[in-house]
A = this chain, B = another copy of it.
Amino acid sequence: MSFTSRLRQIQKENSSLLCLGLDTDPAKIPASLRTSENPQLEFNRRIIEATKDLVCAYKVNAAFYEAEGLNGWRAMKETVELIPEELISIGDAKRGDIGNSSERYASALFDLMNFDAVTVSPYMGEDSLEPFLRSNERCAFVLVLTSNPGSRDIQRLKVGKKFLYEKVVETALMWNRKKNIGFVVGATHPKELERVRKKAPAVPLLIPGIGSQGGSLESAVKYGCDKRGFMAVINASRSILYASSGDDFAGAARREAMKLREEINTWREKFFGHR
């Protein structure tokens, strides 16, 4: 089944556009788990168990695992194995290199790690993304306009009458032969999110930046969704993972995820007539 069909299906099944970002920070794992063989993995196991009926996707932030060396690498790989098959797994690694190197990155993330989707950087152009776009069962979310302050430095440079991030959208759409490109647009840029959705009515949009980064949830739903109310993948990480720092972290994460899904669905009902 194509990636987009799978995404739509799980968004229906779980009534959820919510993506839980597994930015698992060893320093924030409750003390009782720190003696386990692999605390990051154990934490993720409990979080996934507690939230898997509430989300459409999990996003694994490679940075947090690479910083832990071999154990982190193992935790990342085994976390993907814990994600139920019907849910989407996103490897948030922001890779991109010349063709023969990107092939290796694609092989690492898709074949070895078995992610359904990855994030990639557009700066090096088409041959740097092509290895990530070979199968329509997998998706590459191209960085367009990110949620951080630095998004103003390069992404908002003016290319003719347009912003660079818009040119990235237009250019990447020309590479979207298999309909398996997605875009990353931060919820901290609501107007621009609207503009990207207009240019790309059907592509999945991965939307970080709500919660501690201050992006608007209303706009993320209103402008992030396709016209039927799907294809927005709204990410939250810290606000759910660390809802409690105690042993009740999994239950607290569940409550927080439930609350956020409900808020999202309230907006969905308003804008699209269903949840």
Q: Which residues of A contact B (CB under 8 A)?
A: 23, 61, 63-64, 66-67, 69-70, 73-74, 77, 94-105, 107-108, 112, 121-129, 143, 146-155, 157-160, 164, 167-168, 171
Contacts and interface: CB of A to CB of B under 8 A. Distances in A.
A158 B155 contact: no
A241 to B, nearest CB: 13
Contacts of A148: 98-99, 124-125, 127-128
A73 B99 CA distance: 21
A128 B104 CA distance: 24
29 contacts: A63-B95, A63-B104, A63-B105, A63-B108, A67-B108, A69-B108, A70-B70, A70-B74, A94-B96, A94-B121, A94-B124, A99-B148, A99-B150, A121-B124, A122-B123, A123-B143, A123-B154, A123-B155, A124-B148, A124-B150, A125-B146, A126-B153, A127-B148, A127-B149, A153-B171, A154-B164, A154-B168, A159-B164, A164-B164
Contacts of A61: 97, 101
Contacts of A66: 104-105, 108
Nearest to A101: B63
Given A69-B77, A77-B69, A64 B121 contact: no
Secondary structure call for the A interface: helix
A108 to B, nearest CB: 4
B123 A64 contact: no
Nearest to A208: B98
A100 B146 CA distance: 14
Given A61-B101, A154-B171, A67 B123 contact: no
Contact of A146 (B124, B126, B153, B167): B124
A67 B125 contact: no
